[in-house]
Structure 1
Amino acid sequence: MNTILIKAASVVNEGQIFVADVLIKEGFIVKIAPNIQAEGAKEINAEGLHLFPGMIDDQVHFREPGLTDKADIFSESMAAVAGGITSFMEMPNTVPNTLSQQLLADKYKIASEVSLANYSFFMGASNDNLDEVLKTDPKNVCGIKVFMGSSTGNMLVDNATVLENIFKDAPMLVATHCEDEKTIRENMARYKAQYGDNITIDMHPLIRSAEACYISSSMAVELAKKHQTRLHILHISTAKEVALFDNITPLKDKKITAEACIHHLWFDDRDYATKGNWIKWNPAVKTEQDKDAILKGVLDGHIDIIATDHAPHTIAEKEQPYLQAPSGGPLVQHALSALLEMYHQKKITLEQIAEKTAHNVATCFQVDRRGFIREGYWADLVLVNLNDPVKVTRANLWYKCGWSPFEGQTFQSEITHTFISGNLAYQKGSFMTNEKGKRLAFNR
Structure 2
Amino acid sequence: MVVDMIYKGKFLFWDNEVVQGTIIMENGKILEVHGPSYKVESDVILDYSMQPEIMALPGVIDMHVHFRGFNLSYREDEYTGTRGAAKGGVTTVVEMPNTDPKMDNITTVLRKIKEYEKKSFIDYAVYAAVPDSLEKLNDLLENWSHIMGFKIFPNDYSNPHLKNLLKGAYEKDLLVVLHAEDPNLIKEVDSPGERWKTRSIEAAISAIDKIYELATPNPPRMHLAHASSLEEVIEAKRLGYTVETIPHYFLLTSEIEKEMGAFAKVNPPLRSYPIAKALLEAVSKGTVDSIASDHAPYSIEEKNAPFIEAPSGVPGVEITLPIMLTMVNWGLLTIPQVARLTSINPASILKLERVGKIASNYLANIVLVNMKTEGIITADEFECKSKYTPFEGFKYKGKPILTILHGDVIYDGEHFIRPSYTLNISKLRREC
The TM-score with structure 2 as length reference comes to: 0.92
Aligned to 1:208: 199
Aligned to 1:352: 337
Aligned to 1:174: 176
Over 3 Å counting, the alpha-carbon distance change for 1:53 and 1:424 in structure 2 is same
Q: C-alpha distance in 2, partners of 1:42/1:381?
A: 15
For residues 190-205 of structure 1, the aligned pairs below 5 Å read 199-205=190-196
1:71 maps to a residue whose letter is E
Give the C-alpha shift of residue 301 in structure 1: 4.4
Aligned to 1:30: 31
For residues 42-121 of structure 1, the aligned pairs below 5 Å read 42-47=44-49, 48=52, 49-121=54-126
**Cα pair 2:297 2:315 within 8 Å, conserved:** yes
Q: C-alpha distance in 2, partners of 1:301/1:339?
A: 14
**Cα pair 2:375 2:396 within 8 Å, conserved:** yes
> What secondary structure, in the 3-state scheme, does the structure 2 residue paired with 1:97 have?
coil
List per-residue Cα deviations over 1:106-136 (Å, max 9, x = no partner): 1111101110010001111134343234224
1:135 maps to a residue whose letter is E
For residues 43-442 of structure 1, the aligned pairs below 5 Å read 43-47=45-49, 48=52, 49-128=54-133, 129-138=136-145, 140-147=146-153, 149-150=154-155, 156-159=156-159, 161-170=160-169, 171=172, 172-184=174-186, 187-188=187-188, 199-246=190-237, 256-433=241-418, 435-440=420-425, 441-442=428-429
Aligned to 1:251: none
Unpaired stretches in structure 1, ≥5 consecutive residues: 151-155, 192-198, 248-253
2:346 maps to a residue whose letter is V
Over 3 Å counting, the alpha-carbon distance change for 1:242 and 1:395 in structure 2 is closer
> What secondary structure, in the 3-state scheme, does the structure 2 residue paired with 1:291 have?
helix
**Cα pair 1:123 1:136 within 8 Å, conserved:** no
List per-residue Cα deviations over 1:56-111 (Å, max 9, x = no partner): 00010000111011000100100011001110000110000001111101111110
Percent identical among aligned pairs is 27
Q: C-alpha distance in 2, partners of 1:308/1:257?
A: 16
Q: C-alpha distance in 1, partners of 2:138/2:345?
A: 30
**Cα pair 1:126 1:157 within 8 Å, conserved:** no
**Cα pair 1:229 1:255 within 8 Å, conserved:** no
**Cα pair 1:383 1:418 within 8 Å, conserved:** yes
2:417 maps to a residue whose letter is M
Q: C-alpha distance in 1, partners of 2:226/2:161?
A: 23
Q: C-alpha distance in 2, partners of 1:183/1:410?
A: 37
Q: C-alpha distance in 1, partners of 2:355/2:348?
A: 9
Give the C-alpha shift of residue 372 in structure 1: 0.8
Give the C-alpha shift of residue 271 in structure 1: 1.9
1:443 to 2:430 alignment:
yes
Show structure 1 runs of 4+ deviating over 6 A.
Answer: none
Give the C-alpha shift of residue 209 in structure 1: 1.9
List per-residue Cα deviations over 1:242-291 (Å, max 9, x = no partner): 221448xxxxxx95211111221221112223332221111111122222
Over 3 Å counting, the alpha-carbon distance change for 1:168 and 1:58 in structure 2 is same
Q: C-alpha distance in 2, partners of 1:394/1:227?
A: 44
For residues 10-29 of structure 1, the aligned pairs below 5 Å read 10-11=11-12, 13-29=14-30
> Number of residues paired by the alignment?
419
Over 3 Å counting, the alpha-carbon distance change for 1:206 and 1:132 in structure 2 is farther
**Cα pair 2:3 2:24 within 8 Å, conserved:** no
Over 3 Å counting, the alpha-carbon distance change for 1:268 and 1:12 in structure 2 is farther
**Cα pair 2:193 2:256 within 8 Å, conserved:** no
Q: C-alpha distance in 2, partners of 1:235/1:225?
A: 23
Give the C-alpha shift of residue 45 in structure 1: 1.8
**Cα pair 2:9 2:55 within 8 Å, conserved:** no
Give the C-alpha shift of residue 9 in structure 1: 2.3
Give the C-alpha shift of residue 225 in structure 1: 4.8
Unpaired stretches in structure 2, ≥5 consecutive residues: none
Q: C-alpha distance in 1, partners of 2:419/2:348?
A: 30
Instruction: After superposing the two structures, state which structure 1 stretch, 209-218 or 18-27, moved more.
Output: 209-218
Instruction: After superposing the two structures, state which structure 1 stretch, 323-332 or 275-284, moved more.
Output: 275-284
Structure 1 vs Structure 2 CA RMSD: 2.0
Q: C-alpha distance in 1, partners of 2:232/2:143?
A: 29
**Cα pair 1:99 1:132 within 8 Å, conserved:** no
> What secondary structure, in the 3-state scheme, does the structure 2 residue paired with 1:202 have?
coil
Q: C-alpha distance in 1, partners of 2:393/2:424?
A: 35
Give the C-alpha shift of residue 402 in structure 1: 2.4
Aligned to 1:195: none
List per-residue Cα deviations over 1:9-67 (Å, max 9, x = no partner): 23364111111111111110011111332223301122321111011000100001110
Give the C-alpha shift of residue 432 in structure 1: 0.7
Q: C-alpha distance in 1, partners of 2:389/2:180?
A: 25
